[in-house]
A and B are shown apart, each in its own frame.
Chain A
Amino acid sequence: METKNKIRILIAKPGLDGHDKGAKIVALALRDAGYEVIYSGLHQTLEQITQTATQEAVDIIGLSIMSGAHLPICEKLINMMKEQELNDVYLTVGGVIPYQDIPKLKEMGVAAVFPGGTSFEEITKGMNRLIER
């Protein structure tokens, strides 16, 4: 059986926020879209997330954040990704993200933001667009 290139994505829950239903459902939707999804589990430190992204050689990191701390988390993570030379890995964020914060996240270097209410179709399309470009 010929194996064609698959997109690998790490779905991660940073910090103390314990709501992972959203992350799990998105993981399933991406699996159904043909992705290989690595699920990190809850309460991940940013060190764990960058190490996992390195070892798993993923194309995309998808953070699920409900805690309101998305700005400092993304800023720190982007710096750590640079240190680890994860230059070809896209960072995306979903969860409870106020619309006014989206431009700030994009400016930091977040490749895509999927706030609550985004459909699965929009998420997979958005992810595909990152890899195609």
Chain B
Amino acid sequence: MLEVKNILAGNQRAGARMIRLIEDNDPTVFGLLKELYPHVGHAFIIGITGSPGVGKSTLIDALISEFRKLDKKIAVIAVDPTSPFSGGAILGDRLRMQRHATDKRVFIRSMASRGQKGGLSRATKDASIVLDAMGYDIIIIETVGAGQADFDITTLAHSTGIISIPGTGDGIQAVKAGILETGDIFIVNKSDKPDADASVYELKMMISMRKPPNLKITRKTGWTPRVLKTIAQNGTGVKELADTFLSHFDFMKKNNFVDQKRNAMETSYFNSLLQDLTLKKLLLLMKNSKEYKEVLQKIQEGSIDPLSAAEHITSKICIFENND
């Protein structure tokens, strides 16, 4: 039996099993998470995103080494895509980080996206709660090799690093909307390749043109996103990157943005839980109702179409008074 006290004591076996239950939608998870939740809030959560092949896993491997020098306890959640055809997945991010596998103060967990869009898995948020409660100082979340619109990570991480490589486009790629607007730290990896300086220049230009009043919290903080060059393979620039992440966190703490961010995270977590639970409960109630059975009968007889039927059933929902 899974015990909360073992998870809180940082037992990796217990934590890993809890994350497994989360992924498998086990009914006991909700209660366990409730017990863990009072113990979260310590960890600094870093999101790492970027297209496939830019070096996310290799860079995380190098970052782990840097953070370990500062004696931080590190957890990594690495998300890889689930095959839409078989439902299976090859989780290969971890293989770049295997030298840390036996370090007892490092916990690496691979996760398949299981059909979730946005670069993460449904289980990622809940898994980060487990890792935070286990006492990890830094949690690094690696997204699926992301496209231009996969910015779910920014609702989950304190600090988002966006990795690119030289020579992937002219200036227009850098000014497109989406993920590039949400980064706190931009990393040009494989910077020994030609045109690295041009990429840095383009990113800096894009940042200088960002307008402050746009939606995202990161932008309200007055933090100017940094652009750094790295070569993850041999560690060049990685120390500076690790320091920049930490100084971003310090900056947020000093200016009370960590609290703001926590409020935003809790609101979005609450809303997503509400969505899941409401849907589950309402569907159950509806499916057990007399009306549902009647309307289903009518659909099968052909006397009502599915659209009108769904409209009819949902019109029966009446729980809260609408105050406006």
Contacts and interface: CB of A to CB of B under 8 A. Distances in A.
Contact of A38 (B25, B83, B91, B114): B91
Instruction: Specify the main secondary structure of chain A where it touches its partner.
Output: mixed
Contacts of B88: 6, 30-37
B74 to A, nearest CB: 12
Contacts of A48: 98, 101-102
A55 B115 CA distance: 23
A47 B102 contact: yes
23 contacts: A1-B116, A3-B122, A6-B23, A6-B87, A6-B112, A27-B90, A30-B88, A31-B88, A31-B89, A32-B83, A36-B112, A37-B90, A38-B91, A38-B94, A39-B92, A45-B102, A48-B98, A52-B101, A55-B108, A56-B91, A56-B94, A56-B109, A57-B19
B312 interface: no
A16 interface: no
Nearest to B123: A3
Contacts of A71: none
Interface residues of A, number: 33
B86 interface: yes
A122 B19 CA distance: 30
Interface of A: 1-3, 5-6, 8, 27-28, 30-41, 44-45, 47-48, 51-52, 54-57, 84-86
Interface of B: 12-13, 16-17, 19-20, 23-25, 82-83, 85-92, 94-96, 98, 101-102, 107-110, 112, 114-116, 122
Contacts of A28: 90
Contacts of B98: 40-41, 44, 48, 52
A6 B102 CA distance: 26
A34 B87 contact: yes
A128 B115 CA distance: 22
A3 B23 contact: yes
A33 B90 CA distance: 11
Contacts of B90: 27-28, 31, 37, 39
A37 B89 contact: yes
